[in-house]
Homo-oligomer: A and B are copies of this chain.
């Protein structure tokens, strides 16, 4: 079960109603905040997301439109007398970035902040949770940047309840059957597991890639991911701007999605220069379908 709440999905230049990047991923019941542009705490309130449920924050890079809202959120957690630890994953420097502001404003948090500073340019697992793992996706931007890959843990096999009951198997054995064990009945008959179960649903997965230049080598890591969020700051007609700024076009995002055989593609990090955002979708869908456009305030749900 995976819900993606879009808090903001635009690039830096602010307009009155366009918000910089931030999203909350509810991944198998665990809330992760990914990037935290200015105003994120207000957007969290507007979308009625409980602050206390956020235990992990992932910051892709230290450009302002992805992290200037972090200090405000951290301070507010303190005002709300948060007690739970807060884990922050981001580029080396993020600890100094935050701590100097807390220090100069004489703000003391009521809870512990654990910084996980990243430096590797190779993908690495940065969180092992009992429901999922998170690994970095090294991206190609003007500054050290990582995307994040959320991978659900393998699930139990599904019980064929009619079969199990027909054999008169006691409920006490259900857990081990779901783990794949065979069962010996009271009369000594051995029942093979495959008669009692069917294969589990594949683990769910989400990959977040913002900001990055077109990077075909991502395809291998992103192979068959269920949902890919890929930045598309520009349209193909402005591809020259991508080279300069190290961003991608909608078409390039779609090429990655197609080659990696992902299930769903969500585009975001839109430039304010285009009037009609639907053009991003039209451009991407010449290559890959279904493509969705991120929109502040929207929640995507995937089973």
Residue ranges of A at the interface with B (Cβ–Cβ < 8 Å): 12-16, 38-39, 41-42, 45-46, 62-64, 67-69, 71-72, 75-76, 79-80, 93-94, 96-97, 100-101, 104-107, 142-143
Contact = CB atoms under 8 A, between A and B. Distances in A.
Copies of the polypeptide in the assembly: 2
A63 B107 CA distance: 8
Nearest to A63: B105
A16 B105 CA distance: 24
A13 to B, nearest CB: 5
Contacts of A94: 104
B16 A69 contact: no
B64 A75 contact: yes
Contacts of A105: 62-64, 67, 143
| CB-CB nearest 5 A-B residue pairs | A16-B45, A62-B105, A38-B72, A93-B104, A16-B46
18 contacts: A13-B80, A15-B45, A16-B45, A38-B39, A38-B72, A39-B39, A62-B105, A62-B106, A64-B71, A64-B75, A64-B101, A64-B105, A68-B71, A68-B101, A96-B100, A97-B104, A105-B143, A106-B143
